[in-house]
Amino acid sequence: MTIRLIALAALLATPAVAAPVLDTPVQDSWWADGRAALDARLKVINRPKRARNVILMVGDGMGISTITAARIFDGQHPIDGRKPGPGEENNLAWDRMANTALVKTYNSNAQVADSAGTASAMNSGVKTRIGVINFGADQGAEACKTPEKLPRTLAEIARAQGMGLGIVTTTRLTHATPAAVYGHVPFRDWEGADRAYPAADRASGCADLASQLVNFKGGLDVVLGGGGARFLPTGKGGTRDDGRNLVAEWQKNWPQGKFVADAKGLRALNSRDMAPVFGLFTPDHLSFEHDRKDDAEPSLPEMARFALAKLEAGKAARGGKGYYLMIEGGRIDHAHHASNPYRALKEAQMFSATVADVLKSVNLDETLVLVTADHSHVFTMAGYPARGNDILGYIKPPKGGGEGDGGLSPEGYALDDRGQPMTTLSYANGPFVARGLSRTLPPNDPNYLAIKTYGTSGESHGGEDVALFAEGPRADLVRGVMEQNLIFHIMAEALGWR
């Protein structure tokens, strides 16, 4: 016993050994960049536990393979004055957000989800069946007759408490993701009074989504996107067969409101004006960024900046109450469905630029910002390309390895077992032929249709987890592996709702 006590005393008396200093000489910046990234994480501010505002940013279809490929694409094709680089070391706007998690995306009846069920999970905290927006798992069309029994959305609760509301999207405003902010339908295609919502189904008494948006209780402060045809009657630029002009109805509901139909109209508005703003810029979805005409359609970053400025300016009129804003980069998904890598990555790049603008513009001590995807796609990044290889190009492996089964072409491309050059990016399924696109083009052409394993009419969603990034009050709750409907509860907790 005495010997043990003497040994313990000697151990306690031993001077503490200083931690070794990491001064390893390095040949490039990776080591130093890694240390700087660690230091930034060690200095994360202990933010307040309550938020005044919540911004949910959804890159529709932006799975983890899309994030990685978009990061490289953005580094190789920068849009902010940077010099092009290899791309792998580049960072997108959310890459340095301090809190991250993996999110399980399945619907209540489907392993691989659609946007209706996933957006519902985020907006109402309830997982739904595939194709269903903000209905309970056991509710059908008959539930439209008892709307008080439907799951309440974050927007409905926020408006009832006097908060501001906004929606920004590059899709139709009646498309699944934006519709989940304000709407309830048992079938996502009931966007307007048209052939997608047959007369027999309308007998259920469920209002179409365009009608629900215009008649949302308390209204929305700012709504910007596409899909004007669902709001206008046939013969007047729309597809509605019930003769209703919902734009005129909205203007009657909000006489001081500002309706805009193009980028010029939006740019003429004063974001500090308290009147609500309704922007419908196209009959259907907005154009892909690659195809967008700036004088006709605003960009996603431009719409987001306007909506954010308007909601921030309106706080005083709301007695200091904050807002809920949903921003969707919706056409990442559509480019993937066409198996068109260029447009998918360009849309993801613009979504990153939008996230960067938001993070620079808000006070993160009072605003919770969440960046995520609703689901993934069957989009793969594979082979053994050398660092800096064109992310849209054929695979050129590094010296000493990574060749395909067929060796190398005279140009140095890796070949498959049929002797064909391989691309880094491909799809597990998708169309072999698509209008305006071709698989015979070079792979870095904007209209190139990527290789896929199975031929289908349209490429499908993927079922793997997606990423969630967070900054602001209660961002610390974003960690580990989460069910998707937990996102709703994190937003509610940040706002102090119990």
Confidence (pLDDT) at 18: 53
Which residues lie closer than 8 Å to 55 by C-beta, 6 or more apart?
A: 308, 324, 325, 326, 327, 358, 362, 367, 368, 369, 370
**Residues sharing a CB contact under 8 Å with residue 118, sequence separation 6 or more, in sequence order:** 105, 107, 374, 375, 484
- 331 torsion bin: left (phi>0), alpha (psi -120 to 50), beta (else): alpha
Bridge partners (DSSP) of residue 414 are: 408
Annotated domain spans of the chain: 53-378+460-494
CA distances from 394 to 1, 90, 377, 386, 405 (A): 72, 21, 21, 11, 15
Give pLDDT, residue 39. Answer: 77
Nearest partner of 395 among 380, 410, 382, judged by Cα: 382
Backbone torsion region of residue 218, taken as left when φ is above 0, otherwise alpha when ψ lies between -120 and 50, otherwise beta: left
**Which DSSP state fits 372?**
E
DSSP H/E element including 103: strand 99-104
| 133 closest CA partner among 199, 180, 200 | 180
pLDDT in tens, 174-186: 999 999 999 999 9
Sign of the torsion angle spanned by Cα atoms 92, 98, 104, 108: negative
pLDDT of residue 4: 44
Residue 41: per-residue pLDDT: 72
Positions marked catalytic? 115
Closest to 103 (Cα-Cα) out of 387, 435, 376 = 376
How many other C-beta atoms are found inside a 10 Å radius of the C-beta of residue 117? 30
Q: Is 252 exposed, middle or buried (0-12, 13-18, 19+ CB in 10 A)?
A: exposed
Query: If one looks up domain 53-378+460-494 in CATH, what number appears?
Result: 3.40.720.10
Residues of the chain with confidence (pLDDT) below 50: 1-14, 20-27
Tell me the DSSP string of 26-47.
-SSSHHHHHHHHHHHHHT----
φ, ψ of residue 327 in degrees (nearest 5):
-120, 125
The predicted structure's pLDDT at residue 401 = 76
